[in-house]
Amino acid sequence: MVMSLLLKLFFTGQIKIREGTLSLSGIYLNILPASVVSTITEYFLKKKELWKLYAIMWLNGFITIKKIDKIYHLTKPDQIYSFGMDFGEAIGLGLYKTHEYFPGRYTHFKIKPNPYINYYISKPQYIDYFIAGTMAGGGCNVHNSVCQTVELKCAYKGDEFCEFLTGTEEELKRRGLWETAVKRYNLKKLYPIQKKIFEGNLTEKDSIKLLLKIL
């Protein structure tokens, strides 16, 4: 499925590599080595500011999937979700498997992560803020609401898979996970900004400026 998506995008000219840039129908992308993702995570971990990495990746996921929806005329939650998950696998975030999916409420999935997890040298903990932020931001477009992602299991803690739940505020409260998200991602500061970005129909540049005010 993933290879067929990549080949289709390449052969139809929707993914292009030209003059040192990678683009998907006009969306410019970067492919980061696993060691870079690890180093960035380790940097925020040492500063005790992993929530900032989550915030940055939330905005990245939100903007990217929103653009893809517009370019490919994806309007149904199932379309947005399927393309987003396939695209996430294609760019190397890991091998996804959905457990449960309820449009407008939550997505429950697990990932067999890529080897970047092996670069971490700090005390084992829930560490995949890079993935969690990306999936939460992209999930806003699927569930038509501001979403957060809570990592429930982590390969770095010894689990076979990393397991996540992306959900709306109401869903996370119903499951008793909202306070975990609030504490883990500093939502008292971040959540109001997420709402403004989601509800404001802002330009990409204005969304970035708004987020930078709290970082």
Cross-sheet strand order for the sheet of 162-168: 95-102, 106-112, 162-168, 147-153
pLDDT band for position 215 (cuts 50, 70, 90): very high
The 3-state DSSP class for residue 212 equals helix
Which tens digit of pLDDT belongs to each residue from 120-176?
Answer: 545 667 788 988 999 999 999 999 999 999 999 988 787 888 899 999 999 999 999
Long-range contacts of 202-207, Cβ-Cβ distance < 8 Å, separation of 24 or more: 204/63, 207/59, 207/62, 207/63
Residues present in the chain in total: 215
Helices 50-71 and 34-46 cross at an angle (nearest 10°) of: 140
CB 151 within 8 A of CB 108: no
Which tens digit of pLDDT belongs to each residue from 81-107?
Answer: 776 666 666 655 555 667 788 999 999
Domains and CATH numbers, the chain: 1-31 (no CATH), 34-212 (3.30.1380.20)
